[in-house]
Structure 1
Amino acid sequence: MLPAFVDAHVHLDKAYLLEPIANELAAEGAKLTADLGDAIATVARLRPRLGPEVVAAGAQRAVDTLVRNGTVAARAMVEIDPAVGLGLMDLHADLAARNAGRIGLQLVAFPQRGLELDGMRELMKGAMAAGADVVGGCPYVDDDPGAHLDFVFDLAEAYGAPVDLHLDFSDDPEASLIDLVAERTRAAGMQGRVAIGHVTTLAAMAPDRADRAFAAMAEAGIALAVMPATDVYLTGHPREASGWHATRPVAPLLRAARAGVTVAITNNNLCNPFAPYGNGSQLQAAWLAGLLFRAVAAADRATLIDAITVNPAQILGLPEHGPTPGARADLVVLEAANQDEALLQCSKVAAVVRAGVRIE
C-alpha cells in the first residue's frame, strides 16, 4: 500500500487523439512525425476539425485510465488558443465536476503556441478569471521568451496563483531559460510555487553547468516535472546541417533530487502525436525512469516512488496523504510485497482508495 499517485503534468485535452489525427492526415496524404514542432502545429491545425465530442471523449477516457492506474489527483494543462478560445476551459470544468469523487483536477491556463498570437494575452486573463488554478507558460515558442515570462509572472501575481512552465524542451544548453525563471521566481517571492516541465537541456549540459542549474532551482524552490515517455520520443533528432546526432535527453531527475530539487514523474501525454505510447500509468513512467537513470540503489528507487506520490502532491499544494495516521486516505494497493518490488516489476494495481472510499 502506497500513497495514491498524483500526476503533476498531464494533457487531457490532447489524450487519445492519435487515431483521429492520423485519419485526418491520411486524408490529406500526410503522416505523423516524431517532431515537437510538427506535433504542436498539427494538433493546433486539426483540433477545430475534430469536434468537441471527440476531445471530450478522449479526456474522459484519460481520466478513467489515470484513476484505474492509481492516480487520484492531477494538474491538467488546459490549452488556451485563439482557434478554440476558452472552450477547453469549459470542457475541463465539466470534466472536473463529473469526476469530482474520483480525481481532483487542478487546471492550468496553458498557452501551447505562445503569447504572441493575436488575442492570446486577453485569453489568458480570461482563463484565469474563468477559474483556472495555475498560470501556465511555454516561453520557448515565442521570439521574446523574457517578455513571455514577465507576463506569466505578472498574471500569477495578480491572481495569487502558482506558475507552471513548459521549459527548455531541446538538447541545446545555450537555449536554457532556467536562470531567467529563477530570477523571476525570487523577485516575485514565489519560492515553492513554480514548477518547470521537460527541461531536457539539463541532460545536455556539462556536469558543472547542470549542477549550477540544480542549485539555482533548489535555492528558488522551483520543482522539476520529468516526462520520460514524451521526452524520449520527441527529443534527439539529428541536426542535418552539422551532421551531429543528438542524444535522447531526459532531465536527470535523480541528480536533481540529490541537489535538493523537488522532482515529479508525470504522464504528460497519452496516445497522441506527442507520445503515441503513453498509457496513463505513473508506476510504469517511474519504472522507465529507473531504467534510463540506472536506479540500482534502494535510495534512488525510493526517490522514484516519491516522484509519483508525495512530491507531486506537494507541487499541487495538497495535504499529506497515504497510509500514515492522520493523513488523508488516498491510497493505491499494488500486487507486490513492498514498494521496491512494485517498482521493479511495475506491479498491477489491485485497488484505489480516495478519501477513504474505494473507487477502483
Structure 2
Amino acid sequence: MIRIGDLAAASEHIVLTDAAAPGISGRVDIRIAGSVIADVSPAGAAAPPADATIVPLDGRVVAPAFVEPHLHLDKALLGTPLGGGDLGAAIAYTAERKRGFTSADVRARAERVLAAALRAGTTAIRAQTEVDPTVGLLSIQVMRELAERHRSWLDLQIAVFPQEGIRARAGTLPLMREALALPGTIVGGCPYTEADAVDARAHVDQVLDLAVEFGTFADLHLDLADDTSDQRFALAGYVARATRERGLEDRVAIGHVTTLAAMHPSERGRVLDELARAGVSVVVLPATDLYLMGRSDAANVRRGIAPVSDLWAHGVRTALSSNNLRNAFTPTGRADPLDIALLAGRVGFASSREDFLRLHRAVTTDAAAVVGSERARGLAAGAPADLVVFDSTDPDTVVLDQPTRLLVLAGGRPVYSARLEESFHEVPLPG
C-alpha cells in the first residue's frame, strides 16, 4: 500500500479505497484506469488489480475536481484604482492598464493564479480573455501558451471577450474572428458596454451568430446592474429567445445577471423559465457582484446577487465562479471555488444539507456542464478521473468546513499533494 503524498511513481491503475463521497451513501472504492474512473463500488466489494497503486483514504472525502467556468486570468492581480469604484470605473481603470500589457506580464500574473487554482483543486478553467485594438491578440496567445504548458493537469478553454464592446470599439470584430479561428477558443460577449439597447441586442446577435459560424459555445457577461431601468441590462430573456432561434440550446452561458435580483418574482419567474427552455446556463459571480452592486444606495443597499435558489427552482443550470481576483472588479479572491460557494450560500440564505450539496455541485459537476466537459458526469464509470481528496470525513459539510485539499488528480494522475507541499509538474507555487 502507498500513502497520500507518495504517489509520484503511481501505476496506471490507482484505487482510492474506503472513501466518502458527496451524494453517495456509505464508503466506496474508486478504481482509476488510465485517465478515467473505471468503477465506483462499495468499499471492499471488489479486489483491486494486481498492479494497482492502493491509496487508503480512511473515510476521507473524494469529490470531482473544481471547474472555474468564468475566470479572468489576463487581468488578475492588477490592483484597484484609488478609492475603488463602480463598474464604469473598473472598466476604465482596466482599459488604461491594458495599454501596458506585455506577454511576460500577463503570463506572470496568470501563472500565480493557476498555482493557487491547482492547490485549491481546480483542473478546468474557462478563461475570459480580452480582445480589442489596444491589446490585440496578446492575451489570447499567452492563454494558448499556458494551455499547452499545463495540459497535463489543466483543461483551459479560452473565451474571446470584447470587454469594451464590439460596435462601440471599431476593429474588435475582426480580431475576434481571428481569435476564434484558433483551437481551444469560444466566443464571449459584453453587450452592456454598447452605446444603447439597440446596439446591445445587436451585440448579442453578433456573438451568437459567431457561435453558430464557428461551431462553438457562447458566454456573455450580461445584465450587470442594480435594476433594469437601462435596457442594456435587461437582456436575459432576449438571449434565451435568440439562443433558441439559432438552435444553440445548452451551448450558451450568461454571467452575473444581477438584475434578476431586482425583478418582481413573477417577472423573474418568466425570464427564468425562458432561460431553462433555451438551456442557457447562468454563472453567478458573488464576489464581484457584491463589490460592484448597490453603490448608489444610501440605505437598504442591494446585494445584487442573482437568486441561486430561484434559478434552481426553475431548472436553470447554475454554476458559481471566482470571476476576477484582486483587481478593479474584485479586490479580493483566492482562486478557491469553495470560498465562492460558501459566500454564495451566506448571501443566498442557504441552510439545508441539500443547499450546501448543490452549492458544491455548482463549482464541480454543474460548472463542468457549463463548459461542455465530460466531468459533468461526476463520480461515475467512464468519467474523467479529475478528483480531489479532502482532509474531511463528512461529504455533506465540505462547503461549510473548507477542508484542506490533500491530493489532486488530473486525468488519473497525481498533480498536487498537500502532504508534500509540491506539485508533480512544472507549476510555480505561490509564495
Normalised by the length of structure 1, the TM-score is: 0.93
Give the structure with the higher percent helix: 1
Corresponding residue number in structure 2 for 1:247? 302
CA distance in 2, matches of 1:164, 1:50: 24
Indicate whether 1:287 and 2:369 are aligned.
Answer: no
Q: Measure how far apart 1:324 and its partner are.
A: 2.8
Give the equivalent residue in structure 2 for 1:79: 130
SS in 1 for 2:99: helix
- 1:105-147 per-residue CA deviation (whole Å, 9 max, x = no partner) reads 0111100000121111111111112335211100011021111
Change over 3 Å in CA distance of 1:245–1:121 after alignment to 2: farther
Aligned equivalents of 2:174, 2:391: Cα separation in 1: 49
Unmatched tracts of structure 2, length 5 or more: 1-61, 417-431
Contact 2:179 2:185 in 1 (8 A): no
Report matched runs for 1:1-360 at 5 Å: 1-18=62-79, 31-115=82-166, 116-143=168-195, 144-174=199-229, 175-238=233-296, 246-320=301-375, 322-360=378-416
Q: Distance in 2 between matches of 1:97 and 1:227?
A: 27
2 CA distance for matches of 1:244 and 1:296? 26
Distance 1:311 1:346 in 2: 19
SS of the residue aligned with 1:49?
A: coil
The structural deviation recorded for 1:339 is 2.3
Amino acid at match of 1:162: F
Which amino acid is 2:181 matched to? A
Per mean C-alpha deviation after superposition, the further-off stretch among 280-289 and 116-125 is 116-125
Deviation of 1:322 after TM superposition, in Å, equals 4.0
Cα deviation for residue 245 of structure 1 reads 5.9
The answer to whether the 8 Å contact 1:254/1:303 transfers is: no
- Asked if the contact 2:293/2:303 (under 8 Å) is kept, the reply is yes
Structure 2 CA distance for aligned equivalents of residues 304 and 334 of structure 1: 17
Equivalent residues of 2:87, 2:292 under 8 A apart: yes
- Does the 8 A contact of 1:171 with 1:246 survive in 2? no
Counterpart CA distance in 1 for 2:348 and 2:201 is 32
8 Å CA contact 2:253–2:280 kept in 1: the answer is yes
Query: Unaligned 5+ residue runs, structure 1?
Result: 26-30
Q: Supply the distance in 1 between the matched residues of 2:179 and 2:406 (Cα, whole angstroms).
A: 38
CA, structure 1 residues 344+38, in 2 after alignment: closer, same or farther (shift >3 Å)?
same
Q: Do 1:335 and 1:342's aligned partners in 2 also have CA atoms closer than 8 Å?
A: no
Distance (whole Å) between structure 2 residues aligned to residue 84 and residue 329 of structure 1:
37
Q: Radius of gyration: which is bigger?
A: 2
What is the aligned residue count? Answer: 347
